[in-house]
Chains A and B, each alone.
Chain A
Amino acid sequence: MKQVLTFDNVSMTYYTKTQETQALSGLSFGINQGEFVSVLGPSGCGKTTLLSLASGTLKPTDGRILLDGRQIEKTNTDVGYMLQRDHLFEWRTIYKNITLGLEIQKKLTRENIEHCERLMKEYGLAEFKNHYPMQLSGGMRQRVALIRTLALKPKVLLLDEPFSALDFQTRLHVCNDVYSIIKKEGITALLVTHDISEAISMSDRIAILTARPAKLHRMHQVNLGHVPTPLERREDPSFARQFETLWKEISQNEK
């Protein structure tokens, strides 16, 4: 299988006036085409750093990050980013929010606009086209944020705890929603989270990181490939078993 995103022996050190902090130390793993991989680790272990590196907004101190075999040098349009909050621009309509990236990259071609229109129609946003974000519920807003990212046709989608700002009920539904859109569009995704059950319910594989400076502790294969949606996965008997295994591993890492 083709590897889309590869972390090759990546290290990252931050400097401030008084100290240096090593966030990552020799981290290596890869994500295959169409795969959903989560990164789990104790809090403050450099998970968000990982995504900033993959998006090209940060440069690694050492090692390489490859996208489709080519080293990531700077921010590029092949990587889509979805953050904790939806960060919709309140003064723009839903349509204008979705086409924001295209506007910035000066790619408002007919083909791309049609792609946006299709996504909006397919995922029930067409009727809210001229609404403002304020008029939408939290779940809907997060869906708009996802479509905004997909409008740029990214090769890889990076998700930085995209559901943590939602209440639990909404969270489960939005999680389901986002998952099904990602799978339907065949997007390769890298999710960063501290929520073990979220990781199990969405991923094909889970990269477990050690405490800071983080490196790969173990790659966990989620054995729920036959169960279609995150909500159903949560009800699977082996879900609880896997949860316990991962929880123990992560707790040990924290010490």
Chain B
Amino acid sequence: MKNEFLSPQHKKYISKLKRHKILVFSAQTGVLVGFLLLWQLLATVGVIDSFLMSSPSRIWHTLADLYANGQLFYHVWISLYETLLGFAIGTLGGTAIAVALWWSKTLRDVLQPYIVVLNSLPKIALGPIIIVWAGTGQKAIIAMAVLISIIVTTITMLGGFLETNAEKILLLQSMDANKMQIFCKLVFPSNLSTLASCLKINVGMSWIGSIMGEYLVSKAGLGYLIVYGGQVFEMDLVMTCTIVLCLLAGGMYFGVAMLEKFFVRWKS
């Protein structure tokens, strides 16, 4: 409907945009396809050792085998479950802590050094402690995923909350708003984009947590398969699981990006 009224110059501009988009997309596809072809070719002619480097065709066969014997979705589901749970608890918990810290300046001042230390601490170092406390089951893995995402969430969200425009707060105060209303009507909604970037960061963080957790303790999951494959020198399995992991993490990021679009729909 809009197109009917466009001037020729405007149409030209739009087709230029379109051409750029097509160019970028075909280049992206080209890089992927070229890479796979080259990999396959080098493996076939024997330039690279496919026992060490695997090859697209071998990965494909491994994937088909895993799918056929039901292993694929079993392991994917276990890792996905751990990651999503860690992601949810980490994000919600971190945001809740940030709310509490925003609310009370005293609490904020008291806890600040502890948060700084916890943030700098490599969470993997806490692995043994977690195992002793939470056992060697999925609980430990989820705890790892939570631990890695919760501190970052707290810091990022608190930063956003504290940067809320002071004059807007003054405006609400002059309307006789209480602290709860200031938070619900202004501080939280003005930080939806902060929350969205937090979610994006946490996609990566919770995957790190769950895969790392699976490296430490696990009997199933993609992280388990990768470690297992590495130990028995089955690089096909390692490569296959890594690629599945890429797809899952990418898909989750995409989901979060869609959610962000919904959050800030007033921008369009």
Residues on A lying within 8 angstroms of B by beta carbon are 52, 55-57, 75-77, 79-81, 83-85, 87, 89-92, 100-101, 103-105, 132, 134, 152
Contacts and interface: CB of A to CB of B under 8 A. Distances in A.
Interface string B169-199: 0111111110001000110011010000000
B165 interface: yes
B192 A75 contact: no
5 contacts: A57-B173, A83-B171, A105-B175, A134-B266, A134-B267
A87 B167 CA distance: 8
B177 A104 contact: yes
A90 B266 contact: yes
A104 B181 contact: yes
A83 B170 contact: yes
The majority secondary structure among interface residues of chain A is loop
B174 A87 contact: no
Interface of B: 165, 167-168, 170-177, 181, 185-186, 189-190, 192, 264, 266-267
A20 to B, nearest CB: 22
A81 B171 contact: yes
Contact of B174 (A79, A91, A92, A132): A79
A81 B174 contact: yes
Contact of B266 (A75, A80, A84, A132): A132
The interface centre, meaning the residue of B165, B174, B186, B264 with most chain A CB atoms within 10 A of its CB, is B174
Contacts of B172: 104
A152 B186 contact: no
Contacts of B177: 104
Contact of B170 (A57, A76, A90, A104): A57
Contact of A100 (B170, B185, B266): B185
Nearest to A84: B167
Contact of A104 (B165, B185, B190, B264): B185
Given A89-B186, A91-B189, A76 B176 contact: yes
Contact of A77 (B165, B168, B175, B266): B175
Contacts of A101: 175
Contacts of A152: 175
The interface centre, meaning the residue of A76, A79, A101 with most chain B CB atoms within 10 A of its CB, is A101
Contacts of A91: 189-190, 192, 264, 266
A81 B167 CA distance: 11
Contacts of B181: 104
A83 to B, nearest CB: 5
Contacts of B165: 87
Nearest to A83: B167
The interface centre, meaning the residue of B172, B175, B176, B264 with most chain A CB atoms within 10 A of its CB, is B175
A85 B167 contact: yes
B64 to A, nearest CB: 48
Contacts of B171: 81, 83, 87
Nearest to B186: A89
A75 B176 contact: yes
A152 B266 CA distance: 25
A89 B167 contact: no
Contacts of A84: 167
B195 to A, nearest CB: 13
